[in-house]
Structure 1
Amino acid sequence: MSVLEALIFGIVQGISEFLPISSTAHIIIAQFLFGRTFSGLSFEVILHLGSIVAVVLYFRRDCIQLTRTFFRYIKERRSMDRPEFFFGLYIITATFITGFLGILLEDVLAGTMKTPLFIAAALTLTGVFLILIERVHEIGNRTETEMTFMDSIIVGLAQTIAVIPGISRSGSTLIAALYAGLNRKTAVRYSFLLSIPVIAGSSVLAFEDLTVGGMASIGTMPLAIAFLASFVTSWIGIVWLINFLNSGRLLYFALYCFALAIVTITFIDNIPSTPGG
C-alpha cells in the first residue's frame, strides 16, 4: 500500500466515523475505488485506533469525571453522584446490547453486507431516518438526569443495526436518542461517550487478526500515516459535528447519504472487483 492510499483511507475513516454517514460504508467504497483487498483486519484496526484515541482524548475530562463519579457512588452513595452513576449504567447497558446482538447479526449478514446494492440501500435508509427525526418527530428536552433504562435499550438496539455498512453508528444513536425525547446536547454526549466502548470493543475483538505478517504486508510508514490521518480527521469531525448540531440541520447529512447511495449503485456497482477483509 502506498503512503497516499494510506493517507486517503485514514482521512476517509476519521471524517466519516463520527458523522452520521457510516464510516464502514465509506471504507468499503474506498476499497472498491482503489481495488484494494485488506488481508485480515490489521489495517482496519489501525484506522479505528486513530478514531478511538481521538474521541478518548477529546472527552478525557468527561471520561475521568464519569469513571470517578461512578465508582464513588458505589462506595459512598452520595446523592449528588447518582445522575452520573446512572448515566454510566446507561452506557454499559447500551454497550452490552450492541455487543451481544451485534455479533449475532454480523454472523448472519456477513456474506451479503458488503455489496454496493446493500450499502446503497442502507445509506438511503440512514438518510430517510435522519429526515424523519428532524422533520416529523419533535425534538425532546430531557437531560441526563431524566434518562431511563428504556432510553439506553432503545439506543442500544438502534446502535446494533449499525453493524450493517451504510447504517451510521453515530447516526443511529443520535436518531434513537432524539426519538426517545432527549435534547440535542444530551443525545450528542451520550452518542460520543457510547462510541468509546463500542469502537474499542470491536477493535479488541479484531486484535486476533492484527498479525505481524498482515502489518508487514502493508508497511510501517503507511500504517503510521493511516493512524495519524484517522486521529487528526476524527478530532476535526468530532469538533465540527458538535458545533454543527447546535444550529445545523440533519437534513444535509441525509442529502449526502442519498447522493452517495446513487453514486454507489450507479458507478461502484459496475466495478468488477469486490473488496474483502
Structure 2
Amino acid sequence: MSWFESFVLGLIQGLTEFLPISSSAHLRLTAAFAGWHDPGAAFTAITQIGTEAAVLIYFRKDIGRIVSAWARSLFDRETRRDHDAQMGWLVIVGSIPIGVLGVTLKDAIEGPFRDLRLIATTLVVLGIVLGIADRLAARDESGGRHRAVRTRKSLTDLNVRDGLLFGICQAMALVPGVSRSGATISGGLLMGYTRESAARYSFLLAIPAVLASGAYELKDAGKGHVSWGPTIFATVIAFVVGYAVIAWFMRYISTRSFMPFVIYRVLLGLALFALVAAGVLSPHAGESAG
C-alpha cells in the first residue's frame, strides 16, 4: 500500500465511521473502484482505533463519569443505583454479542462477507430499515394528524434488555455495508429512543468492541501488501477527520432527519449492483491481488 492510498483510506475511514453509511463498505469500495488491493479486515479494524480515539476525546467527560461510577459500583452497593454506573454495566452487556460473533465469524468477516454483492445488499436493506425507523421517530416527535406527541426514551430509560438489543444490532455491523452506527441507531429508534440518545449510546457501545478488535488485529498488521507505516498514517488521518465528523454529526441529528443518508445508501447499493451485473466490477475486485 502506498502512502497516497493510506491517506485516502484514512480519510474515508474518518469521514464514514460515525455516519450511518458503513466505513468498512466504503474502504472496500474505494479500493475496488481505484483498482487497489482490498485493504482487508485487519487494516479496517486498526484504523478504527483512530476514529475511536476521537470518541474517547469527544465524550471524555461522559466516559470519565461512567468509568469512575462503574469502578466504585464494584465495591459500593449504593453506587450501583447511579445512572453512570449502570451505563458502564450496560455497555459491557451490549458488547457481548459482537465479541462472541466477531470471534465465531472471523473467517467469514475476512472472506465471504467482503463480496461486493453482499455489500450492495446490506447497503440497500439497512438503508430501508434506517428510513423506516427515522420516519417512525419523526412521526412520534411531531405527533402527526390527530395524534398526541409521543415521548421518546432517553438513556436514563436504558435497561438490560434494550442494552442487549443494541448490542445485537451492533454485531450486525460485522458485515460490511451494514454500518455500526446505522444498525445501532436504527435499533434504538425502533425501540423508541430519541435520535440523540440512540447515537450517543451507539458511540459509547462501540468503544470496547472497536478497541478490542483493533488490538486483536494488530498481530496481522504489516503482513501482505499493507505495511505498518501506511497503517499508522491512515489511523492518524482517521482520528483527525473522525473528530470533526462526530462533532458535526451530533449537532446535525439534534434537528435533522437521517433521510439523506438513507437515500445515499440505497442509491449506492443499487449502483453497485448494476456495476457488478454489467461486469464493470468483479464481486471480488482486489481480493486476489491482496
- TM superposition shift of 1:5: 1.9
**Which 10-residue stretch deviates more, 102-111 or 21-30?**
102-111
Deviates most, 98-107 or 155-164: 98-107
Contact 2:22 2:180 in 1 (8 A): yes
8 Å contact kept, 1:40–1:209: no
- CA–CA separation in structure 1 for the residues paired with 2:108 and 2:164: 22
Partner in structure 2 of residue 247 of structure 1: 255
Q: Distance in 2 between matches of 1:116 and 1:77?
A: 50
Query: Which of 260, 270, 274 is the aligned partner of 2:280?
Result: 270
The 1:6–1:127 alpha-carbon spacing in structure 2 relative to 1, beyond 3 Å, is same
TM-score by length of 2: 0.85
Amino acid at match of 2:154: T
Task: Report the counterpart of residue 114 of structure 1 in structure 2.
Answer: 114
- CA 1:257–1:42 in 2, change beyond 3 Å: closer, same or farther? closer
In the aligned structure 1, how far is the partner of 2:88 from the partner of 2:27? Answer: 31
SS of structure 1 residue aligned to 2:261: helix
> Contact 1:48–1:199 (CA<8 Å) still a contact in 2?
yes
CA distance in structure 1 between the aligned counterparts of 2:132 and 2:39, rounded to whole angstroms: 39
Aligned length: 274
What TM-score results when the alignment is normalised by the length of structure 1? 0.89
* Equivalent position of 1:66 in the other structure: 66
| Cα 1:41/1:115, change in 2 over 3 Å | closer
* Cα RMSD for the two superposed structures: 2.4
Contact 2:46 2:217 in 1 (8 A): no
Q: 1:65 to 1:46 in 2, by over 3 A?
A: same
Using the aligned pairs only, state the percent identity. Answer: 29
Distance in 2, Cα, partners of 1:110 & 1:42? 8
In the other structure, the counterpart of 2:218 is 207
Which structure 2 residue ranges, 5 or more long, are not aligned? 142-150
Q: Distance in 1 between matches of 2:216 and 2:186?
A: 27
* Structure 2 residue aligned with 1:133: 133
List per-residue Cα deviations over 1:128-181 (Å, max 9, x = no partner). 011110124646522222211110111111111111111011011111112122
Where 1:247 maps in the other structure, the secondary structure is coil
Shift of 1:263: 2.6
Q: Distance in 2 between matches of 1:42 and 1:99?
A: 16
Tell which deviates more after alignment, 202-211 or 86-95. 202-211
Residues 1:112 and 1:196: Cα distance change in structure 2 (over 3 Å): same
Measured against aligned partners, the alpha-carbon deviations of 1:114-140 in whole angstroms (never above 9, x if no partner) come to 222111110001210111101246465
Please give the residue correspondences for 1:1-277 in structure 2 after superposition, counting only pairs within 5 Å: 1-37=1-37, 43-78=43-78, 82-108=82-108, 111-136=111-136, 138=140, 141-211=152-222, 218=227, 220=229, 222-267=230-275, 270-272=280-282, 274-276=285-287
